[in-house]
Structure formats: C-alpha cells, structure tokens
Amino acid sequence: MNNFEEYYKIRKISEDLFRLIVRIKKLNNFEVEELVNLLEFTIKNWRIKNEYVL
C-alpha cells in the first residue's frame, strides 16, 4: 500500500469519527460529553502524531 492509500484510509476514519462525535453530542448527556471530549482529544493527538509518518 502506498502513502496516498494510507493517507486516504486515515482521513476516512477520521471523518467518520468526527461524524460520530457530532451525532453523540446531539444526545446532550454529561457522560457522553466527557466521552466526546476524550475522543476529540485522542483524534487530534493521533492526527498530529501521524502527520509525520505520512
């Protein structure tokens, strides 16, 4: 698999996760909000880390 294919997969997963976060936020529950914050933080850090790999 080349870098472009790998990048496309990572981008697709990231977009799907953000869509999921938006849907979860609509539930408007405190525990869900904590989960969403953790997911957002994790994804942002993962993206930063993987920018150097690609």
Q: What is the pLDDT of residue 54?
A: 46
Residue ranges per structural domain of the chain: 3-51
Question: In sequence order, what are the residues at sequence separation of 6 or more whose Cβ sits closer than 8 angstroms to the Cβ of residue 41?
Answer: none
How much is the pTM? Answer: 0.47
What gap in Å lies between CA 26 and CA 48, rounded to an integer?
27
What gap in Å lies between CA 22 and CA 19, rounded to an integer?
5
Amino acid at residue number 28: N
User: What are 8-47's pLDDT values in tens digits?
Assistant: 888 888 888 888 877 777 776 777 778 778 888 888 887 7
H helix intervals, the chain: 3-25, 30-51
What gap in Å lies between CA 23 and CA 39, rounded to an integer?
13
Q: What is the pLDDT of residue 17?
A: 80
